[in-house]
Structure 1
Amino acid sequence: MQDLELWSMDELCDHAFDIFEELAAENLSAADYGLYQQQYEQRGYVDLVIPGPEWVELIMQDLEPELHYEAQIGLTGLDGEADRVLARILLSREKHDALCHAQWRGD
């Protein structure tokens, strides 16, 4: 892994948000997209988590915990808890790996 060019965790979050912003209008319901557009500055978040086994089944490829992350993007509740996950995006930290799969709210 030392020869790979990796995104930092902050860069990976930014990368996930870029992907989300590009695809959200086409993949979210009009209500969810409108809510996100109205409230993302105050309530938008991204969490990076280790991908679960459902991703391996979905993409039929083994994932490396050091390289692959699931970005969960959504809006937090008023108490700071995540109340609405709008997208789950599987990404690689490797900058030259084009791996990107998304599951959208309502899929």
Structure 2
Amino acid sequence: MQDLELWTLDELCDHAFDIFEELAADNLSAIDYSMYQQNADSRGFVDLVPPTEDWVEIMMQDIEPELQLEAQIGLSGIDGEADMVLARILLSREKHDSLCHAQWRGQ
């Protein structure tokens, strides 16, 4: 991993948001997309977490936990409501690896 050019965690969050915003209109329901657009500035979030085992089934290959992270993107709750995850995006930490798999809310 020493010779690889890796995203910082902040850069990876920005990268995940860029991917989300590019693909969200085509992959979320009209209601979810509208809700995101109306609330993104005040309630939008991205959390980076270790990838879960379900990605192995989705991708049909093993996960490299030291090089891959899952970005969960959505809206934080208000008035005690639960957070709403709109997309889970599996990303490589390598800047030159275009790995990107997404699971969208409602799909």
Smaller-chain TM-score range?
over 0.9
Unaligned segments of structure 1, at least 5 residues: none
Q: 1:87 to 1:38 in 2, by over 3 A?
A: same
TM-score, L = length of structure 2: 0.95
Find the counterpart in structure 2 of residue 36 from structure 1.
Answer: 36
Find the counterpart in structure 1 of residue 22 from structure 2.
Answer: 22
Task: Give, in angstroms, the shift of residue 64 of structure 1.
Answer: 1.4
TM-score, L = length of structure 1: 0.95
Instruction: Tell me whether 52-61 or 77-86 shows the greater mean CA deviation.
Output: 77-86
Q: 1:20 to 1:57 in 2, by over 3 A?
A: same
Find the counterpart in structure 2 of residue 10 from structure 1.
Answer: 10
Question: What percentage of residue pairs aligned between the two structures are identical?
Answer: 77
Unaligned segments of structure 2, at least 5 residues: none
Alignment: residue pair count: 107
Find the counterpart in structure 1 of residue 101 from structure 2.
Answer: 101
Map 1:84-99 → 2, pairs under 5 A? 84-99=84-99
Q: 1:92 to 1:81 in 2, by over 3 A?
A: farther
Q: Report the Cα distance in structure 2 between the residues aligned to 1:55 and 1:42, rounded to whole angstroms.
A: 30
Task: Give, in angstroms, the shift of residue 57 of structure 1.
Answer: 1.2
SS class of match (1:7): coil
Conserved? CA contact 1:75–1:82, under 8 Å: no
SS class of match (2:83): strand
